[in-house]
Structure 1
Amino acid sequence: MSDSPTDSSRATPSRIRGLEQVDRLSVPLPHGTEVTTRVERMASGGRRIPQGVVGRVVRAHDGGFDVQIVGVGEVWFARDELIPRRPGQVQFARRREAAWAALTPCVVLETRVGSHAWGLASEGSDVDVRGVFALPLPWSLGLMEAPADLVSADGSTTYWEVRKTVEQALRADPNTLETLFVPGARALDVIGEWLLAERDAFVSKALFGSFGRYAMSQLDKLTRSQRLAEHRDLLLSWLCEDPAPDLDEVARRLAVVSPRSATSEENALLAAKTYVKQLYRSLWDQGLLTANDFAALTVYARGGGQRPPSARELRPKNAYNLLRLVSTAAGWLRHGEPTFEATGALKARLLDIKAGKVPLEDVLRDAEAMAPELEEARRDSRLPEHPDFARADRLLRRVGEEVARRWVTKAPGPLGRDAPEPPAMEWRDSE
């Protein structure tokens, strides 16, 4: 629906109200919410954090929140010391909290994933939970778009709606297939039992790309990001010279000190320019630059502003998981069934990577060394080329019919007579 060019008074979904006038000091702040600080705070080491700094919520505890601030780390703030940064995020937080409260009783399948499922957990490891929920029939009707996922306030638990789960599984999404195939997956409803019974329909050789090739490409990106971080302080110091060097000169210098060789001088310069662009785009995304360009990067360097963390502080936490994905893909393709728990030498290596004892360059080399094994496993695999779309379609129809039956007959439970009310839609005329 869109506004008519001849009738500006028509109501449209863009004029939904009810969430627009909200108290930004009382709305929930789920994991990942971008916030602005309302008070000055002293971080560890006596570093002053001024009012108005932007950060992201990473967890809730003790009546407040740990907020990740670039260049500082995690700092605790009370709820009334933070406000969501944008109006859209206020609305998002309200909607997400309301959907979580209303629909978690509709969860039909649940499992513990992450390091606990991989045999790589330590005493301080987070417990990550994923699962699937079904939408009560009224939530799939009307103009309001129903939520396709539910996320807990601390970000540790995620549930996907049944249709989204099936669509992701058909694409061989690693997180979805892991949720369905990890040995601890348990059904909380007969609909969850159906999902587990039909999960083989989603498996195909497509996991070669979604698990293996994806993981290796992400490892390569992590390696490039770390290389950039290692040279960041040096690059910023160059920009403080008088006169400040231009982009071509910075790229020339960076190409000389880059640890990885290029096939030609031209390619080395191109790669160096790409690194510089990645840097100012990243700083722009973090709110540290006034514009997304090289000129703003120069101003930032010469202004002595808040610096991002050094390369040693980065230690990408997910590098070990990406290498694990490559190993899981090779095993699944070769044997026709998955093994998620790491053992033996692989487990020891993954734990070293997780602890930051292995340089990313070495992790990438590990993955590249596994590439021939992955290719061979795909070539010889007995898995089908494509998932069973017809079987998946029958599953979705069966679930839809069951949800409708429970609602129409007012069967006991959250999908029947105890179903939560869908959110009301309010309209306002255009001004």
Structure 2
Amino acid sequence: MELDHLKTKNLILFEAISGSRSFGLATENSDTDIRGVYYLPKEDFFGLNYIPQISNETNDITYYEIGRLVELLQKNNPNILEILASPEDCILRKNALMDLLKPEDFLSKLCKDTFAGYAISQIKKAKGLNKKILNPIDKERKSILDFCYILKNQGSVPLKKWLREFPSSGGVSEGRGDLSQEKCGLVSIDNTKGMFALFYNESGDLNYKGIIQNEEANQVSVSSVPKEEKPLAYLFCNLDAYSTYCKDYREYWKWVSERNEDRYNVNQNHGQNYDSKNMMHTIRLLQSCEQIFKTNSLNIRVENRNELLDIKAGKWSYENAMKKAERLIKSIEHYHSVSTLPDYPDPDKTKRILIEIRENLYQ
């Protein structure tokens, strides 16, 4: 089913401008998002062709089937409650049956988890983004050799440096200033983690496996070493640090490939090292949650437009934005503890409303 089909068959119950324009945060560059509600014809609803929602390719236009909408209202989904609370000047179309769905019939203490919980997850995401922006990772991937160290006196030397600068004396690597990792053999040391005795075979006749067998290896290799051989050094492999690096590398370059370059450039230009647009909406969501528990109502049009737009423009430091978020979270905890809202929306009342709507639509 396509969006045009909803209009030609007169299946739309509600349609409104959403996002920044409905919140009162639109600027000249803001996109226009549309959210709506439709119902399925009787034969589709009772048959095998239930379609819960329909969106365009960019997801800036989305319509929810009335049953799916009520299901999400019952769960106190923030996006769906905000549709129901759309300001009058943003509503493009509204069937009178939609007046049966009032935000106050669905608001409950569950909003703490859905509104504030989602906002907190975005704060964690912002912290992760802040870390990525401040700590870029080179495209050239490190190997496990970069996490190996040779014990020396009371300290250690990076393995690669040690191999490169090993003294050309004593019959080992005679005539050269470096050692080859491929000619090394490692033997695990009992009762230790990541510790190995390192042996070296210049001629290669002992068939040591080397420290790693290839650059993509995720662990060092161990070799069979004759008992009479003497270790040249002792090596420590920090496998935990290597695993952390691999995870960070993978996440960083995934983020680079998926990031919105225009928004990233805006964030780079204002120099605050966080996604300022996302932070603005996170603060707005926390404010909405605080308002729900203070007033038992939801008004999505903000009263601090200039402050929020300053956050979006990067005029707030990351630290100050986080402090504001933390204050709001603390306030939400307080008002939630004294709130008179029910723990959950009334499922029987919700069911009655939905049945009444469908009976009117299908009569």
**Displacement of 1:109:** 1.2
Cα distance per residue 1:300-325 (max 9 Å; x no partner)? xxxxxxxxx78737735322101111
Whether 1:245 and 2:133 are equivalent positions in the alignment is no
| Rounded Cα–Cα distance in structure 1 between residues aligned with 2:336 and 2:110 | 9
Aligned counterparts of 1:243 and 1:275: Cα–Cα separation in 2: 10
Q: 1:287 to 1:231 in 2, by over 3 A?
A: closer
* Partner Cα distance (1:223, 1:275) in 2: 18
Aligned residues: 260
Counterparts of 1:101 and 1:191, CA distance in 2:
22
Q: How far apart are the structure 1 equivalents of 2:300 and 2:242?
A: 38
Q: Residue 59 of structure 2 is aligned with which of 155, 168, 179?
A: 155
Say whether residues 1:100 and 2:3 are aligned partners: yes
Q: 2: distance between equivalents of 1:106 and 1:392?
A: 22
Match of 2:34 in 1: 129
Note if contact 2:104-2:296 (Cα within 8 Å) is conserved in structure 1.
Answer: no
- Does residue 127 of structure 2 align to residue 169 of structure 1? no
Structure 1 residues 365 and 236, CA gap change in structure 2 (3 angstroms): farther
Contact 1:181 / 1:338 at 8 angstroms: preserved in 2? Answer: yes
Contact 2:147–2:242 (8 Å) recurs in 1: no
Q: Which residue of 1 aligns with 2:100?
A: 194
> CA 1:165–1:278 in 2, change beyond 3 Å: closer, same or farther?
farther
**How far is 1:361 from its partner?**
4.2
TM-score (norm 1): 0.54
Q: Secondary structure at the match of 1:245?
A: helix
Measured at CA, do residues 376 and 349 of structure 1 come closer, stay the same or move farther in structure 2, by a change above 3 Å? same
Aligned to 1:413: none
Alignment CA distance shift 1:384-1:143 (3 Å)? closer
In structure 1, distance between residues paired with 2:248 and 2:351: 42
Distance 1:326 1:243, change over 3 A: closer
Aligned equivalent of 2:154: none
2:47 alignment partner in structure 1: 142
Residue of structure 1 in register with 2:285 after alignment: 325
2-side partners of 1:270 and 1:211: how far apart? Answer: 36
Q: Distance in 2 between matches of 1:124 and 1:213?
A: 29
Using the alignment, how far apart are the partners of 1:271 and 1:375 within structure 2?
37
Q: CA deviation at 1:274?
A: 5.5
How far apart, in 1, do the equivalents of 2:319 and 2:87 lie?
A: 33
Q: 1:236 to 1:137 in 2, by over 3 A?
A: same
Distance 1:129 1:270, change over 3 A: farther
Instruction: Please tell me the root mean square deviation across aligned C-alpha atoms, in Å.
Output: 3.2
**Partners of 2:276 and 2:313 within 8 A in 1:** no
Equivalent position of 1:109 in the other structure: 14
Give CA-to-partner distance per residue, 1:45-73, whole Å, 9 cap, x none.
Answer: xxxxxxxxxxxxxxxxxxxxxxxxxxxxx
State the alpha-carbon separation in 2 of the partners of residues 224 and 271 from structure 1: 18
Where 2:17 maps in the other structure, the secondary structure is strand
- Give the Cα–Cα distance (whole angstroms) in 1 for the partners of residues 87 and 257 of structure 2: 43
The match for 2:344 among 386, 400, 403 is: 386
Q: Which runs of 5+ in 1 are unaligned?
A: 1-97, 249-268, 289-308, 406-431
TM norm structure 2: 0.63
Q: State the shift of 1:243 in Å.
A: 8.0
Distance 1:247 1:147 in 2: 56
Sort the Cα spacing of 1:369 and 1:330 in 2 relative to 1 into closer, same or farther, 3 A.
Answer: same
* Aligned position for 2:125: 221
Per the alignment, residue 375 of structure 1 pairs with 333
Change (3 A) 1:275 1:384: farther
Q: Which residue of 2 aligns with 1:205?
A: 109
Alpha-carbon deviation of 1:379?
A: 1.4
Query: 1:174-196: per-residue Cα shift (whole Å, max 9, x none)?
Result: 1100100122264532332323x
Distance 1:226 1:141, change over 3 A: same
Alignment of structure 1 residues 1-12 onto 2, 5 Å: none
Q: Which amino acid in 2 is paired with 1:245?
A: D
Counterpart AA for 2:104 = D
**Residue 191 of structure 1 aligns to which amino acid in structure 2?**
L
How far residue 117 of structure 1 moved from its aligned partner, in angstroms, is 1.8
